[in-house]
Amino acid sequence: MKNNKLIAEFMGCTNPFNEIHDATLYKVEQGTFEFDELQYHTSWDWLMPVVEKCLEMHNNLIDGRDVIDTSYSSIAQALQVVSLKETYQAIVEFINQLNKNN
């Protein structure tokens, strides 16, 4: 579940209630949800916008390099086998690598 928080933050989702009180609500594209209700790990509808943002980030990073040389290739491979679990894990790895490089 901590990876759902990582993805939500990557997507620019916020916890607007955190400063008011210690709430665990996140305002995401789909609405406002408790932390444990985030569905990136179980829903293609939640995950595909993340894939799109990763692709945008990838395109900004490659600078003429081959796709295989970037961490986005793992996402592409997971999508080819239509595995939500593998795509989710590849996205988490992509975000972690991006955070590590920044």
- Per cent of the chain over pLDDT 70 is 77
Annotated domain spans of the chain: 2-101
Condensed to tens digits (0 to 9), the pLDDT of residues 6-22 reads 998 899 886 655 554 45
pLDDT confidence of 61, banded at 50, 70, 90? low
pLDDT at 98 over 90: no
CA dihedral 54, 41, 43, 95 (to 10 degrees): -10
- Per cent of the chain over pLDDT 90 is 43
For the entire predicted model, the pTM comes to: 0.80
pLDDT confidence of 48, banded at 50, 70, 90? very high
More confident residue, 73 or 3: 3
